[in-house]
Amino acid sequence: METSIDQENILKKKALNKMKSNALALLGFAVLLFIIAIYFKIPMLQAFSEAAMVGGIADWFAVVALFRHPLGIPIWHTAIIPTKKNEIGENLGNFVSEEFLNREKLEIKIDEFNFATKASEWLSHDENANKIANLVVVNVIPGVLRTIKDEDIKHFIQVQFAAKLEGINFGEWVALALEPLQKGNVKDELLTNVLNVMSTELSNNKDLIRKKVKESTPFLSFGLADKSITEGVFNGLADFLNEAKKPGSDIRIKIDEYVYNFLDKVKNSEEMRIKINNMILSFAGKKEVQDYINGIWDEIKLSISNDLEKGDESSIKKNISGLIQSFGNGIKEDAVMIDKINNFIKNDLLSILLNNKKVIGDLISSTVKSWDGKEVSEKLELEIGKDLQYIRINGTLVGGLIGLIIYAVEWTYHYFVV
């Protein structure tokens, strides 16, 4: 599949070949004029065409010698670019490090450019913010989701979940939640309701009580004691519950004391706190809870993937775009921040560049040296070869004109002097 760069190179190649053909055609026209001049004995035309051919061929040789050996003949000082590639790379690296990475020049350019203002204005435009957001949702986020391992994320969530649970004093939370029971009529009302429910359930399950008593009595009693025992158990429980319902009863007071002591232990007892925490932590360690925790990442990942598939309607993309625009607008309206960013670039980043300019120069040099000589020559010819063909064309035309001038001088000399 051709990329935009490949298509651009194809167009450059066509343009280069066209200019080569034009230069060659002009040289061929000079040859044709030379033949005509010889045949019809036209001295002026002969002088023009001879000089044009010399100029065109000489400049052809000069242009070709930059990139390769003319006609494949290894003439001395030809194929300059591929054979001198290493020297060119070294000189280029030195030139960049000494001429471009110069404090005075860089400071002037940085001050003129005002990077922070231009960047904030660029980011504040909806189109540009959407470009960045689209890059993030199309390349960055899916790439991250593909790269990270689900097992690592799930393990991380489990570790963090367990660490957070261990750091929580659940005993204090339970005490705080139950504290209202010690105040006002809430405790009495709750206890009365519980006792009423127990009384109702006792009445509704009398037959069940009788059945359980029968199963527990000796076989030799032939069921004679079952009824008496059942009634005794039932009446005893009923009397207990009825007594407990009465405000101020001994049973009620004991229940109140039990509740008070329990809440006090929950609040102040380290042993009770540890028991409550261990109970909750043991619950958190059950397989069902762990499966639920693992499912959190699966749900998050699925939600992200489904949202990204919506394209321009993606909530994630819209939010990222909005954040980028807000960031750009915020910087644009904050003169202090603009100064800080520009000063950072001017001072810190500039210092980094200057302190490493030799490294940068060496990097350029080593990079050029690592290139294949033929490939470098072909790429450079593709970029500047079209313009160099004008040298051939100009050489042909200028050579012809110089030939005419020389002919005119020679004719004038012979006609007026000799």
C-alpha to C-alpha distance for 95 and 5, rounded to whole angstroms: 28
**CB-based contact 154:338 (threshold 8 Å):** no
**CB-based contact 324:330 (threshold 8 Å):** no
- N-to-C CA span, the chain: 73
Cα of 66 vs its chain's centroid, Å: 43
Query: Which own/partner contact pairs does 89-93 have at CB distance under 8 Å and 24+ positions apart?
Result: 89/364, 89/365, 89/366, 89/367, 89/368, 89/369, 89/371, 90/365, 90/368, 90/369, 92/364, 92/365, 92/368, 93/360, 93/361, 93/362, 93/363, 93/364, 93/365, 93/368
Which residues, at least 6 apart from 280, have a Cβ–Cβ distance to it below 8 Å?
A: 165, 170
276 exposure class (CB count in 10 Å sphere: 0-12, 13-18, 19+): buried
Q: What is the pLDDT along the chain (418 residues), one digit of tens a residue?
A: 556 677 888 888 999 999 999 999 999 999 999 999 999 999 999 999 999 999 999 999 999 999 988 888 888 888 888 888 888 888 888 888 887 787 777 778 777 778 888 888 898 888 898 889 888 888 888 888 888 888 888 888 877 877 777 777 776 777 676 666 666 566 677 777 777 888 888 778 777 777 776 666 655 445 555 666 667 777 777 777 777 777 777 877 787 777 777 777 777 777 777 777 777 777 767 777 777 877 888 888 888 888 888 888 889 889 999 999 998 888 888 888 888 888 888 788 788 888 888 888 888 888 888 888 888 888 888 888 899 999 999 999 999 999 999 999 988 888 877 6
**CB-based contact 62:391 (threshold 8 Å):** yes
- Would you mind telling me the total number of residues written for the chain in this entry? 418
239 exposure class (CB count in 10 Å sphere: 0-12, 13-18, 19+): exposed
* Residue 71 token pair: 């006609």
**CB-based contact 19:386 (threshold 8 Å):** yes
Kindly report the CA angle at 333 between 332 and 334, in degrees rounded to 5?
95
